[in-house]
Structure 1
C-alpha cells in the first residue's frame, strides 16, 4: 500500500493481516490469539489496563480499561476479533489492499474496522481528558459462532452504557432479530421396501410437516409487524433421512430456524411449533415426532431515549451534517447480551460491503468518521 493512511486505517491494515478465523466455524482456524496480542500491546502502550480473558484456550478476549478521575459514567465499546473463513475469498484475504477510498480484505467490514475505530477513539478521548468516568474496550472472541467472548466479559465487567461497533453504514441501529433453532425428528418404522404393510415412511410424513412449516411462515408474514424489523420468520435449514433405496426410512430429521422480533420469546415460539406438530398428529395417520430445542438468542431493542443513544445521535448528526438514519438489522449481534445484562446499548459502525462474502471492503472515509463520532461520544458521556 503506497497511500498514506489515517491512524484508524493503518491499524486496520495491521489487524486484517492477522488471521483470526473462528475455529468453531472453520476447523483448524487460527483463532483470536495473534490479533489479541497485537491489540493488547497497542493499548498497554497508551496507558490502558489490559485484562486478557481466556476461559477457552486459544480464544482470548481483551478488556482494556482507562480509569477516570471518579464520579463519572462508564462507557463500554464492544467489537469482535473473529472472522469467518478465508476459503473462496477473491484474492489474498490477509493482504489489505487500498483502492478508490476503500480497503479490501477479510474483516475490513465485519468487523476489524470497528475494532480499529474504537481503539483509536478511546485513546484520543482519554488523551484529551481528563474524564471522570471509565472507558472500557471489550474486544471479544467468537461473536461469529457462539458469542462466548462477550459472555465471558460480562461475567466480570459491566458499564453504564455500551456501543457495539458492528458495521451499520453510519446508521443508528436500534433493534435486531433473535433466533431459535429446533430439531424435529419425524418417526416412521423401518421395513423392507417390498412390505408397505410393515413400514412407515418417515420422509413422506415429513413432507406434511414441511407444508405446515411453509403455512406457518405465511401466517407470520401476515401477522403483526415490528415497526423497524417487520415480522418473525421461519424456514427449514437441514433435512436428513433414510438409509438406502430398498428400506422404509424410520426417521427423518429437519432442522429449522425461527427468527424472532422484540416481544417474541423462545418459550412462545416453542409453543407455536408444538401446536403445528400436534395438529399434524391429530389429522395425519401415523404421524409421530420428537422435538428438541437448540441454540436460541433473544431479539434486541434499544430505548431511543437512553442517554447513550441521544449522545451518539447528536455527535453523529454533527459529523454527518444531517441526522443519522435509524435502522434495524435482521441478523443477531452481541447487543442482545449487553441489553440482557442491564447495559443500555446501541449499534453504530462503518460503511462498506461484503460481510462473509468473496470480496469485502470498508469505506475509509466512514472509518475516519466513525472514529471522530466515537471520540466525541466517549468524551461527553464519560466527562
Structure 2
C-alpha cells in the first residue's frame, strides 16, 4: 500500500514526484499509468470502489466511489492526472520543494493540488460512513489535450452534481470560453515564376482572407459581450504554402482558432466563416477555398442558483471568512463536458501560479482551505 500521507500537502508531494506528462503533447511522455496506479491503491485502501477505464491503452482514468446509505444526492469531484511537458522547467520538475508557504514542482498548480485536495476531502467526508449519497472521484486522463478521459468516464458514470478542482484562486468559476479550430485551404495554380499568366498565387489569395479575418476579429470585439467572459475572439494560428521561390504556390492552408462564449458554438462559427469566405469568392478573382472543421469544444455557463453552486459558495464563505469572488475563465475545461452530460457543475480550486510555465507552485494555505471547503460541501450535499 502507498505510504499514508497525513495532509493534502504530503499527498501532493507524492503525486508531483510521479511523471504524468501527456504523451499526446510530449512524444514519449509517461502518461497516466503510474499515477493512476498510485491513486487507485491509495483510494482502495480507504474503502473506495475503484474502477479503471482504459479505452486507450496506457491512458487510464479512475472512478473511485464511496457508496452512500441510499436516497441521497451524488457528487462527482473531477480532476485530471496529466501534466504538460517537464522539459524547460526551471529545476527538477519531479522534486517538490517547499519555500515561503508554497510547493513548487510540475503539476502542483495544474492540477495535482486539486487532485490531492479532493482525495483527502472525500476520505474525510466519508470516513464515518453516514452520507446518504454517493461520493465519486473522477481522476481523468488527457485533459491537457483532448479530454478523452472525462469523455470516457461520462459514458459509464453520472452524478447529481460535480465540482471540477482546476485551479481558480479559491474563486467560484461559473463560466468559461469554448473553442473551435478550422482549416481553410485556399486554392491556387502552380506555374513557373516566369509565367504569371498561367499561375494563381494561393498565398496572395490567402492574404485577402487574413485581412478579412482581422476585420471579423474587430467586429467581434465590438459586439455584445457576455457579462463574465466578454466577447469571442479569433486568430490565425498557422499558415503553410508554397514549394520553392520559383513556383506559383498551388495551395495555402490557414489554421485558425475561434474562442467562443455562451450563445456561440462550432456550428455558428462555421456559418460565420462560410459567409466571409463566400464573400471573398464573389469579390476576389480566382479565389477558391475549402473549409474544414477540426477539434471543437463548447463554452460553459453554470446556473448560479444550482444547489451545488449555493452549497460550495456557502462553505467557501465559512472557511474563507468572506463571500467568494465569482469569476469566469478564458480557457476551456472539462466543466463543459459535465454540463453537456446534464450534470450541474462549477470549477473551484487552489491559489498559485505557473500553469504550463517554467516555474509552477501552489499556495499551501489555499490547498488546506480547498480541502476544508470540499469536505464540508461533500458532507452537506450528500447528506
TM score, norm. by length of structure 2: 0.98
For 2:204 and 2:86, the matched residues in 1 are separated by: 39
For 1:41 and 1:202, the matched residues in 2 are separated by: 57
SS, match of residue 378 in structure 2: helix
- Aligned position for 1:272: 272
Number of aligned positions between the proteins: 379
- Aligned position for 1:75: 75
**Deviation digits for residues 332-368 of structure 1, max 9, x if unmatched?**
0000000000000000000000000000000000000
For 1:282 and 1:54, the matched residues in 2 are separated by: 50
**Deviation digits for residues 199-244 of structure 1, max 9, x if unmatched?**
0000011011000000000000000000000000000000000010
For 1:282 and 1:52, the matched residues in 2 are separated by: 54
**Residue 73 (structure 2) pairs with residue 43 (structure 1):** no
For 1:270 and 1:226, the matched residues in 2 are separated by: 20
Does the 8 A contact of 1:6 with 1:368 survive in 2? no
- Aligned position for 2:378: 378
- Aligned position for 2:237: 237
**Deviation digits for residues 98-157 of structure 1, max 9, x if unmatched?**
000000000000000000000000000001441000000000000000100001100000
- 5+ residue gaps, structure 1, are none
TM score, norm. by length of structure 1: 0.98
Give the 5 Å matches for 1:289-328: 289-328=289-328
- Aligned position for 1:84: 84
- Aligned position for 2:256: 256
For 1:50 and 1:90, the matched residues in 2 are separated by: 35
- Aligned position for 1:221: 221
For 1:116 and 1:128, the matched residues in 2 are separated by: 20
**Deviation digits for residues 48-100 of structure 1, max 9, x if unmatched?**
00000011110000000000001100000000000000111100111101000
- Aligned position for 2:342: 342
- Aligned position for 2:127: 127
Distance 1:6 1:220, change over 3 A: farther
For 2:194 and 2:65, the matched residues in 1 are separated by: 70
Does the 8 A contact of 1:88 with 1:358 survive in 2? yes
For 1:26 and 1:184, the matched residues in 2 are separated by: 27
- Aligned position for 1:286: 286
For 1:291 and 1:363, the matched residues in 2 are separated by: 45
For 2:22 and 2:215, the matched residues in 1 are separated by: 36
**Deviation digits for residues 255-301 of structure 1, max 9, x if unmatched?**
00000000112111100000111111111111111110001100000
For 1:265 and 1:169, the matched residues in 2 are separated by: 28
For 1:243 and 1:360, the matched residues in 2 are separated by: 42
SS, match of residue 78 in structure 2: strand
For 2:292 and 2:262, the matched residues in 1 are separated by: 23
Give the 5 Å matches for 1:114-193: 114-193=114-193
SS, match of residue 82 in structure 2: coil
Does the 8 A contact of 1:172 with 1:324 survive in 2? yes
Does the 8 A contact of 1:167 with 1:351 survive in 2? yes
For 1:103 and 1:315, the matched residues in 2 are separated by: 25
- Aligned position for 1:200: 200
For 1:199 and 1:92, the matched residues in 2 are separated by: 54
Root-mean-square deviation (CA, aligned residues, Å) is 0.7
- Aligned position for 1:102: 102
**Deviation digits for residues 4-32 of structure 1, max 9, x if unmatched?**
x9610000000000000000011100000
